[in-house]
Amino acid sequence: MGETYKNILVAVDGSDQAEVAFQEAIKIAKRNGTALHVLYVIEEMSNYFGELTMSMGTVMEELRENEEEEMKKRVAKAHELGVDNVHTYVMYGYPKSLIADFTEAEEPMDLIVIGRTGLNGLQRALVGSTTSYVVNHTDANVLVVNTTKK
């Protein structure tokens, strides 16, 4: 329990659960006076559609531009709530491994904050959740934010 975190990664995907995780990560970053790293992964469609991805380049770029605008809002929100050291990343790839093995920052992450579930229910049913994968494959501590109402 007395862990002081220096670098906190929060994974967001536009879901309500991810936004609650983002809010929790802001609180922890503020309490620790630490850097907050916000990651959004655009899952490469080739994982599902193979060659069709070539014709989807425009769609993927629009998604990236939209998410970069959302990241600006997240930075503003973090600043408003007292966290000034905020870094954002919009990446293409496989969310599970990019979150668990995050290496974009200069220093390793001490804590990963992630929602219990995200947007992709079908994938979760077929191959297990991103959250479960991250918990089992990262060296960082993981805080799973439970947003289920009782």
pLDDT by 10s per residue, the chain, length 150: 456 899 999 999 888 889 999 999 999 999 999 999 999 999 876 545 555 545 566 777 888 899 999 999 999 999 999 999 999 999 999 999 999 999 999 999 999 999 886 555 554 454 458 888 999 999 999 999 987 654
Domain covering 7-145, topology: Rossmann fold (3.40.50)
CA angle 59, 128, 17 (to 5 degrees): 65
What is the helix (H) or strand (E) element at residue 145, kind and residue range? strand 141-145
CA 43/CA 143 separation, integer angstroms: 22
